[in-house]
Amino acid sequence: MTFPEEPGTRAPGADAAVLTIDLDALGANWRLLRDRSRDGACAAVVKANAYGTGIERAVPALAAAGCRTFFVAQVSEGRRVRRVDPAAEIYLLDGLLPGGAGELVAANLRPVLGSADEVREWVEACGGTALPAALHVDTGMNRLGVPVEEALALRAEGAFAALGDMLLMTHLVVAEDAGHPINARQAAAFRALMRAFPGARTSFSNSSGGFLPDAPACDLARPGYSLYGGNPTPGRENPMRPVVRLEATILQVRDVPAGAGAGYGTHWSAPGPRRLATLALGYADGYPRAAGGTDAKIRAGTPFGQALVGGVRCAFAGVLSMDLTILDVTEAPADAARRGGTAVMIGDGLEIDEVGMRAGTIGYEILTGLGDRYRRVYVGDGTGTATGTATGTGG
């Protein structure tokens, strides 16, 4: 994704919605995770355009904070990280696609190998030079990775002998639920693997895994979501700083009588005389249509979308349109609920975890869906020492 600079659209009154990304908070979050980790070092997962925040801005900020190792999903993302951080260690979580090894060698990217076929192809492509790679062992997700028994058998056959510098890793299934019994099973399986692969670098924890009391101490933590402000300990206080703030402009305000509808499909009707504000942000901006406020949800007590106007929580009225959202601003101060005013969609205590919950999804999907139509404003540089604001293309 690219966000071409369009200086002509930066006049006052031209911004439908503004996405502010605090790179100092991103850097501070990485340092917090590094400092509190039992692991020897901390990487950053920057797949999906750095969880929607922009690879080209997030990676230099994380590097300025001290991060040297990055994980992405796909080759195109790996190339983007390489362009802005020539010295970084970059791992591809998707591993090797058939015939893809040459591409990775040329771009200096490290595959996370997830099958015997991938291991074979990588060893062949390396042509005796022993290039580094990760080995993903599946300890319960049944998604990617070599099953434990097969990993041990391959090791016994010497399949990994030709690999240089191996990172042994697995991935947690429900780390956000610290009490779930599968965490202990995955930890035990990984401890056994660590004994079977002496000398390998090791990596176990995602964001929430770093907060599990029984996670094994490894060489490299692998957080993503928490770097961007997501709560790694759901149900408990969020230890991370917010990174993302989203504000939408109010286009119109109107008063409607009891029983009036709002938006497509008459899914909402006014329970009394209400004041409605129409915002310049819709599902085409990646904000889920499923966050709409409907009579059915109100009857069933199902949570739905909210935004803040003048510091007051206001509920969505009706389903989102492609470019517009209708908000019930009856309780908001009139000087804030006005044409040209702003509604805070993410920020001021409305965290991405809650935004996701109110849309029937998770904060991860809210972040990775952040639209490319927003004006993106980047603050800071990852070190926490810079002053001023950089407006930019973002990546």
Ligand X SMILES: *Cc1c(COP(=O)(O)O)cnc(C)c1O
In the complex with ligand X, which residue's Cβ is closer, 110 or 222? Answer: 222
In the complex with ligand X, which residue's Cβ is closer, 225 or 304? Answer: 225
Contacts 24+ apart (CB under 8 A), 179-182: 182/140
For residue 147 the two structure tokens come to 């099953």
For the chain, helix, strand, coil in percent to 5 are 30, 25, 45
Question: Hunting for tokens 């997962």 — which residue is that?
Answer: 45
- From 47, 51, 225, 378, the catalytic residue: 47
- In angstroms, the CA 209 to CA 204 distance is 7
In the complex with ligand X, which residue's Cβ is closer, 175 or 319? Answer: 175
Instruction: Supply the minimum distance, in Å, between the C-beta of residue 218 and ligand X.
Output: 12
Is 47 one of the catalytic residues? Answer: yes
- From 91, 264, 374, 378, the catalytic residue: 264
In the complex with ligand X, which residue's Cβ is closer, 232 or 305? Answer: 232
Question: If 0-12 CB within 10 Å is exposed, 13-18 middle and 19+ buried, where does residue 142 land?
Answer: exposed
- In angstroms, the CA 248 to CA 326 distance is 11
In the complex with ligand X, which residue's Cβ is closer, 207 or 294? Answer: 207
Contact assessment for residue 357 and residue 303, using Cβ atoms and an 8 Å cutoff: yes
Instruction: Supply the minimum distance, in Å, between the C-beta of residue 22 and ligand X.
Output: 18
Instruction: Supply the minimum distance, in Å, between the C-beta of residue 234 and ligand X.
Output: 11
Contact assessment for residue 339 and residue 251, using Cβ atoms and an 8 Å cutoff: yes
Alpha carbon 104 to chain centroid distance? 24
Instruction: Supply the minimum distance, in Å, between the C-beta of residue 77 and ligand X.
Output: 12
Question: If 0-12 CB within 10 Å is exposed, 13-18 middle and 19+ buried, where does residue 296 land?
Answer: exposed
Instruction: Supply the minimum distance, in Å, between the C-beta of residue 230 and ligand X.
Output: 7
**CB neighbours of residue 299 within 10 Å:** 8
DSSP 274-304: EEEEEES--GGGT--GGG-B-HHHHHHT---
Strands 44-45 and 69-72, how do they pair? parallel
Is 228 one of the catalytic residues? Answer: no
Beta bridge partners of residue 132, listed in sequence order: 164
Classify 140 in phi/psi space as left (phi over 0), alpha (psi -120 to 50) or beta: left
Say which DSSP state 66 is in.
T
Say which DSSP state 53 is in.
T
H-run or E-run covering 189:
helix 181-196
Instruction: Supply the minimum distance, in Å, between the C-beta of residue 309 and ligand X.
Output: 31
CB-based closest residue to ligand X: 224
In the complex with ligand X, which residue's Cβ is closer, 62 or 308? Answer: 62
In the complex with ligand X, which residue's Cβ is closer, 20 or 208? Answer: 208
For residue 189 the two structure tokens come to 């399986």
Binding site for ligand X (CB under 6 A): 45, 47, 93, 171, 206-207, 222-226
Instruction: Supply the minimum distance, in Å, between the C-beta of residue 93 and ligand X.
Output: 5
Q: What is the set of active-site residues? A: 47, 264
